[in-house]
Amino acid sequence: MCIIILMFASHSWIEPFLYLAVIGVSILLNMGSNIVFPSISFITHAMAAVLQLAISMDYSLFICHRYTEERSNGLEPLPAVLAAAKKSVKSISASSTTTIAGFLALIFMQYSIGADIGLVLAKGILISYLTVLILMPLLLYSCRNLIEKSKHRQFLPSFKKFGHSVVKLRYLIIALVLIVAIPSFLAQRNNAYLYGDTSGSSGAGEYAQQRQRIDDLFGTTNPVMLLVPNTDLNGEIALCAALKASPLIKNVTALVTVADPAIPREFLPQAVRDNFLSQDYSRIIVNLTAKEESPESYGAVEFIESAVQKYYPDKWLAAGTATSMADIKSTVETDNLIVSIFSLAAVGIIILLTFRSLTLPILLVAVIQIAIWINMGVPYFTGSSLVFIGYLVIKSLQLGATIDYAILLTNRYMDFRLQHLPREAAALALRASGGSVLTSALILSLAGYAEGLMSKIDAISTIGMLLGRGAALSGILVLTLLPVLLTVFDPIIMSTTLGTKLIRHKEKRSA
């Protein structure tokens, strides 16, 4: 499928094979260099190659399309290759740096899989960036004759009429985006997430089948084990009584509930004592009435923790699926905030330094952030639950992977603004970069959907589906909303961007 899309996007039958050769080398180098890590997760290993291919394919497209453009302007192959590399390096550098920053944001997660995914993908993008800048110009020049002989007409539609239509309907586009974005923002804050022991595995696999057979035979249980100091008998009795009184708890099993507390413990059989006592702790088993993943289960865990904290302040331990899920839920919520802040700030700073503008980082990040809100709002409206790993990493993945589209279009807009007025510059930028954006978005979207549909691992499937839909949404908004924002906010952009003094002076003279 990737080759078919590249065939439609290219100007020569040989170009797609050059793209795949460069990216193939990058993927092999990235996979081989994973030896520097002690280990990587199976989730990272399963999706790293596909994501690296889909995300970094843009860089080869940028150079090749620039090369074709320079050749169309009359340059010979060698000057055209040099000009294409020189003019593309700004977009490629900004795109790769922002992508790397988005992935590196994942290392700030307390949940270790974030660092695992972030480091492997960030390393992959860096390798792709260097490989494309070094190898792609060499291949273009070496295969210049094959490229010329295998030329074909452009299959992608022209964006000339589309660009003018977008500019003409700019206020309608803003209104429609706001109508969709506001409910999506509210919806994505209320999604239901899965944190349990099947969230990273297949819900239809052998584990799930065996688990269902056990539940059918013995009934569903949701136990929590407490370890409390064994030196306070009265506290243990009071704690067990408080736990049993709660409607959230089915039963409580402890030494004080299976044997009369009035009997000295040394008189009890050794086998009984071994089941509940250790040198320092006494074990209490609490069975909850609620299922493992439910609001009632989280409420029960909160009640248990507050009760045991009352009798044994900071001297107790808890274990069980319910308590683990509650801990993961708390960690995920904190991680999400940290990762979101870092990724947005890092990407914004890189765009600021690239374009030397105070306004452009806000506009570009806002476009992709709206696409993320819409993407994350879809599960709420469809009534489906998300595996928490997908929720954790998709925001940084989508931001890092699709900000490239916005950078490319904005770079062309700023180029055309040197000679044209805002509306015309926006239309020309769409015409020049629309094909590259469309191709990149299609490749990443199809790669994500393929990963999501083919994988039997829920975590990988969730990430794939979210990334596939997110890439499509980002591509649509970059091709529609971003040109409108660049046009509407052009006076502010020109006033807050270094190097635009000549443009402003020229427009004042013409006025």
Residues 420-459: tens digit of each pLDDT: 999 999 999 999 888 888 888 888 898 888 888 887 777 7
What's the total number of domains in the chain? 2
- Strand 223-229 to 281-288 pairing: antiparallel
Same domain? 22 vs 163: yes
Shared-domain flag, residues 352 and 433: yes
Pick the last residue of a domain from 272, 295, 319: 319
* pLDDT at 206 (0 to 100): 58
Same domain, yes or no: 239 and 163: no
2-6, 85-89, 204-208, 400-404: the lowest-pLDDT one: 204-208
Dihedral sign from CA coordinates of 232, 236, 237, 239: positive
**Domain with 294 in it:** 222-319
Query: Does 232 fall in a domain?
Result: yes
In a domain, 217, yes or no: no
Say what the alpha-carbon torsion angle 22, 23, 24, 29 is, to the nearest 10 degrees.
100
Q: What is the pLDDT of residue 148?
A: 87
Residues contacting 398, CB < 8 A, separation 6+:
368, 371, 372, 375, 466, 467, 470, 471, 474
Query: What's the chain's Rg over C-alpha atoms?
Result: 29
Same domain (yes/no): 337, 418: yes
Q: Is residue 205 part of a domain?
A: no
Same domain (yes/no): 342, 313: no
Residue 216 lies in a domain: no
Neighbours of 289 (CB within 10 A): 14
DSSP 165-200: HHHHTHHHHHHHHHHHHHHHHHHHTT--EE-STTTT
Report how far residue 67's alpha carbon sits from residue 86's, in angstroms, rounded to the nearest whole number.
10
Helices (H), 417-457: 422-454
In this structure, the answer to whether residues 50 and 102 fall within a common structural domain is: yes
Claim to verify: residue 315 and residue 330 sit in the same structural domain: no
Are residues 53 and 93 located together in one domain of the fold? yes
Q: Do 309 and 382 have their domain in common?
A: no
Give kind and range of the element (H or E) at residue 223.
strand 223-229
Question: Do 391 and 288 share a structural domain?
Answer: no
Q: Where are the beta strands (DSSP E) in 297-380?
A: 317-319
Edge-to-edge strands, sheet with 281-288: 249-253, 281-288, 223-229, 317-319
Write the single-letter amino acid at 160: K
Assess whether 354 and 483 both reside in one domain: yes
pLDDT surpassing 80 at residue 216: no
- Tell me the CATH number at 27: 1.20.1640.10
HSE-CB at 493 with a 13 A cutoff on CA atoms is 21
> What tens digit of pLDDT does each residue of 381-391 get?
988 877 777 77
Question: What's the CA gap between 87 and 90, in Å, rounded?
Answer: 7
- The verdict on 351 and 250 lying in the same domain is no
CATH number at 271 reads: 3.30.70
Of the residues 268, 294, 319, the one at which a domain ends: 319
The reply to whether 239 falls in a domain is: yes
Say how far apart CA 102 and CA 461 lie, in whole Å. 21
Q: Name the domain boundary from 288, 319, 350.
A: 319
pLDDT at position 118 is 87
pLDDT for 32: 92
Residue 74: CB partners within 8 Å, gap ≥ 6? Answer: none
**Which of 351, 346, 341, 339 lies closest to 95 in space, CA to CA?**
351
Q: Is residue 453 part of a domain?
A: yes
Distances (CA, A) of 332 to 158, 234, 297, 375, 491: 44, 37, 17, 19, 41
Confidence label for 509 from pLDDT (cuts 50, 70 and 90): low
215 within some domain? no
pLDDT band at 211 (very low <50, low <70, confident <90, very high): low
In a domain, 244, yes or no: yes
pLDDT number for residue 207: 57
Is residue 286 very low, low, confident or very high in pLDDT (cuts 50, 70, 90)?
A: very high
- Indicate if the pLDDT at residue 327 is higher than 90: no
pTM equals 0.79
Q: Kindly state the helix (H) or strand (E) to which residue 343 belongs, with its residue range.
A: helix 321-355
**If you average pLDDT over every residue of the chain, what do you get?**
85
> What's the token pair of residue 28?
């092999």
**Percentage of the chain with pLDDT > 90?**
33
What are the tens digits of pLDDT across the range 4-30?
777 777 778 888 888 889 999 999 999
